[in-house]
Structure 1
Amino acid sequence: MSSQQRRIVVVGAGSGIGAAAATHFHERGDHVLAVDLRPGDTPAARREICDLRDPAAIAGLLGRIGGDWDALAFVAGVPGTAPADDVLAVNYLGMRLFATGMLPLLRQGGAIVTVASVAALGWQQRIDDLTGLLAATDVAAVRNWQQTQDPAYPVYSTSKQAAIIFAKRLAPSAWQKYGVRVNTVSPGPTDTPILTDFEASMGKDVLDAVKATIGRHATVADIVPVIDFLTGSGSRWINGQDVHVDGGFVAPMTVGPAVEL
């Protein structure tokens, strides 16, 4: 057990990266609140059920968990095979409401880490396009915005782009008012139970090409240590950043061909 127990909320703790993160913190001796849509058996000091599509459910949960938390790891997410409204409600709006609602409950020096995705690649060029979504603070406004969008554009990418932009916009204020850092982690394809959903929505050939380029898909063991680092004191001067954890796949896509050795 760690000599200094921390109190950490892990949202999306039922499976995949979220379950691995909750288990990691719990086994280290931290007090973990595991939050998920369904009852589960992820190791934790406490478990709560919350439908992240429902702002009232988020507010109710935040109202009963008390304060003095050290970190929020928002790992919950639904793939692009889900209805567009659900993708945006969970991946973007649910994250936004949970993160802002947790700020007063976090200790000074605390951290918020959201799991985004390399599928958000190109978010810098979509800031203006996402203005309406980033201004939306309720389910109806998010739904109305989505109805005006090109249905051919991957809504999963949109949700993660918005999550990254919002986190970057939240980070300065969260630090100045609460002493809390806000960062995102963007994994590449990761071997979790929803990988087949990503193959269906993004194309198995695309994910196979990623795998062939870097040798394998990520495992949860590749992602969790980065989440851990960003919640801890070793990252105390990292704020407002999006950290790619993708084996280096994206790098040559943004700067040109890899150097041949």
Structure 2
Amino acid sequence: MSTPVVLITGALTGIGRATALAFAKDGARLVVSGRKEAEGRALEAELWDLGTEAEFVLADVRHEDDVRNLVDKTVARFSRLDVAVNNAGTEGKTGPVTEQTAESYAATFDTNVLGVLLSMKQEMRVMQGQGSGSIVNLSSTMGQRGAPGASLYTASKHAVKGLTKSAALEGAASGIRVNAVAPGPVETGMLNRFTGTAERKAGVVAGVPIKRAGTPAEIADAIVFVASSKASFITGQIISVNGGKTAS
């Protein structure tokens, strides 16, 4: 469609925010969501200033009623849902496996895995009726390679890969494409929180073959492409955007 309707979860910071801006510049109509009202309204206003019809909906992807309401409000406003970007995520509690608990597991998986599952459930409900749609989930290079001290985050992003592939197979007959973008280290607050110190961050970045972290805008550009009709024969794929980190 010339003016697709795009829904983005976790849209208020980092990759989610950059993705909203990238779709706006591409001419899409947007529904952006997150858990902070003031930041959400500010983003909504910024998108309108760019000439984009946009709406912020307060939502927590860990709760199915919130996700159902988010999708229903999108359809009520724009009559359809063409693209969904499931970006909401958390790094969870870092540290060795021996320090993890049932509570730290739930805190990570409820957002990163359950949130993706509930989002796809509601998005596909609408897209099946339309006979079309494109979903892009956010995985991670860590979900492909693993990393010490990030067991729960790594495991959750492995799970996103499996959900993506299964949903792609289920949605194909209804004209729904489902893919995931798996970033490497990206200049975001999450990377800073995960590494903790400038020295550790430099060590992580040194492991990227092109010797720098990515930018949120670079990941956003990949998401916009994967979601678009230019990628119409791509589904069920985990697309790495990581400066060559998984090349070897």
Place the TM-score, normalised by the shorter chain, in its bin: 0.7 to 0.9
- Counterpart of 1:222, as a letter, is E
Distance 1:153 1:68 in 2: 38
Q: Residue 80 of structure 1 contacts residue 154 of structure 1 at CA under 8 Å; is this kept in 2?
A: no
Distance 2:63 2:118 in 1: 10
Gaps of 5+ in 2: 48-53, 95-103
Cα deviation per residue 1:175-212 (whole Å; 9 max; x = unaligned)?
A: 11x211000000000001221122149x546514324x
User: How many pairs align?
Assistant: 219
- What is the TM-score when the length of structure 1 is the normalising length? 0.78
- Counterpart of 1:13, as a letter, is A
Distance 1:204 1:6 in 2: 37
Q: Choose which of 87, 97, 100 in structure 1 pairs with 2:108.
A: 87
Gaps of 5+ in 1: 124-151, 253-261
- Counterpart of 1:241, as a letter, is Q
Q: Which residue pairs with 1:238 in the alignment?
A: 234
Q: Which residue pairs with 2:99 in the alignment?
A: none
Distance 1:81 1:102 in 2: 29
After TM superposition, the structure 1 = structure 2 runs for residues 199-210 of structure 1, keeping only pairs within 5 Å, are 199-200=195-196, 204=201, 206-210=203-207
Q: Which residue pairs with 1:29 in the alignment?
A: 27
Greater helix content:
2
Q: Residue 142 of structure 2 contacts residue 157 of structure 2 at CA under 8 Å; is this kept in 1?
A: yes
Distance 2:196 2:92 in 1: 9
Q: Choose which of 131, 135, 151 in structure 2 pairs with 1:108.
A: 131
Distance 2:115 2:92 in 1: 16
CA 1:214–1:153 in structure 2 vs 1: closer, same or farther (change >3 Å)? closer
- Counterpart of 2:62, as a letter, is R
Instruction: Give 1:104 shift.
Output: 2.5
- Counterpart of 2:111, as a letter, is V
Q: Choose which of 46, 49, 55 in structure 1 pairs with 2:64.
A: 55
Instruction: Give 1:159 shift.
Output: 0.7
Instruction: Give 1:155 shift.
Output: 0.4
CA 1:251–1:189 in structure 2 vs 1: closer, same or farther (change >3 Å)? same
- What is the TM-score when the length of structure 2 is the normalising length? 0.81
Distance 1:200 1:59 in 2: 36
Instruction: Give 1:228 shift.
Output: 0.5
Q: Residue 37 of structure 1 contacts residue 52 of structure 1 at CA under 8 Å; is this kept in 2?
A: no
Identity of aligned residues (%): 27
Residue 225, structure 1, aligned to residue 221, structure 2: yes
- Counterpart of 1:160, as a letter, is K
Q: Residue 52 of structure 1 contacts residue 94 of structure 1 at CA under 8 Å; is this kept in 2?
A: yes
- Counterpart of 2:66, as a letter, is A
Instruction: Give 1:54 shift.
Output: 1.9
Distance 2:207 2:18 in 1: 23
Q: Choose which of 80, 84, 95 in structure 2 pairs with 1:68.
A: 80
Instruction: Give 1:153 shift.
Output: 6.7
Q: Which residue pairs with 1:167 in the alignment?
A: 164
Q: Which residue pairs with 1:143 in the alignment?
A: none
CA 1:167–1:35 in structure 2 vs 1: closer, same or farther (change >3 Å)? same
Distance 1:232 1:182 in 2: 12
Distance 2:137 2:65 in 1: 21
Q: Residue 178 of structure 2 contacts residue 235 of structure 2 at CA under 8 Å; is this kept in 1?
A: yes
Q: Choose which of 122, 127, 142 in structure 2 pairs with 1:119.
A: 142
Q: Choose which of 93, 104, 118 in structure 2 pairs with 1:97.
A: 118
Q: Which residue pairs with 2:100 in the alignment?
A: none
Q: Residue 53 of structure 1 contacts residue 86 of structure 1 at CA under 8 Å; is this kept in 2?
A: no
Q: Residue 8 of structure 1 contacts residue 30 of structure 1 at CA under 8 Å; is this kept in 2?
A: yes
SS in 2 for 1:65: helix
SS in 1 for 2:207: helix
- Counterpart of 1:77, as a letter, is G
